[in-house]
Amino acid sequence: MTAGVLRLRYKNLQAFKCHLRDIISTSKDTEKARVSLGFNCKTSVGTKFYTCTDFTEDQRIDDLMGIMAGGTETTAHSLLSCLYYLKKYPNTLQKLKEELHKEGFRKDVDYEKQYTVENIQNCSYLNCIVKETFRRDASVPDTFDYCSIEDTEICGVPIAKGIKVKLDLVSNHFADDQWLEPLEFVPERHDIESDFYKKSRDAGKIQNSYSRRIFSHGRRNCAGQSLANMEMKVIIAYLVTHMEFTFDKKDLETEGIGFGIASQFNPKITVTKL
């Protein structure tokens, strides 16, 4: 990542924080307003959150941004990435269409009856495609800052009180010792019965619990990962069976394109009903 991109990301981040502060300072979230809307509560969750004195204003802003971005922006970027790769690799798209048709996902079906958790989970290739999208083009490259509340040491590295650290979420997605052809988009790498998976194992490429970090790990992992996975699968299933989408030919032929947050790429996508 170039210095110019880092400066742009920092500038955008500060501008976003500034707008959030303006929104909060002009909020009409008052007890009177809540009563007029039929809510029987003196203080909203939002008000409690922002006026909490256990954290600094910057910490509250960072958390608010995490809630907003984590629930909307990440899925939107991942959906764009998934559609892009499906169009870039027509054989993958055709294989997905065949699976969806076999599992009953068609234009003429009752949407509410067909799009159940059980039916979506039966689409194993769809699941592989979503996993590969998350691996190949992570929506965020790293976590928000963690601030050390006291002097500590992690794996022999001293970390002083007040120091901010981040977790890298991307590098392991391309580790040569864990992935065969890591720069390629290959959903079959997540299918234990596929030839590619067997080829990967024969080459000694073995993943571990940290091979895919898109949702982080442990106590601080993403609370919305199950929802995010299901959102991706439902929306992709619907778009593939109901819409035709096209990308600019130049974008499809360019290698190394990614659509994560703060990406420099501005893809041209056209979506029409089938």
In the annotated binding site, the residues are: 222
Q: What is the dihedral of CA 83, 183, 263, 133, to 10 degrees?
A: 40
Instruction: Report the residue count for the chain.
Output: 274
DSSP 191-257: -TTSHHHHHHHHTT----TTS--TT--GGGS-TTHHHHHHHHHHHHHHHHHHEEEEE-HHHHH-TT-
- The region, left, alpha or beta by phi > 0 then psi within -120 to 50, assigned to residue 177 is alpha
Q: Taking the CA of residue 134 as centre, how many other CA atoms within 13 Å lie in the half-sphere pointing to its CB?
A: 22
Token pair listed for 151? 């002097």
- What's the DSSP call for residue 15? H
- The type of residue at 181 is E
Residue 264 CA, chain-centre distance (Å), reads 17
- Can you name the residues that pair with 164 across neighbouring β-strands? 147
- Residues contributing to the annotated binding site for heme: 222
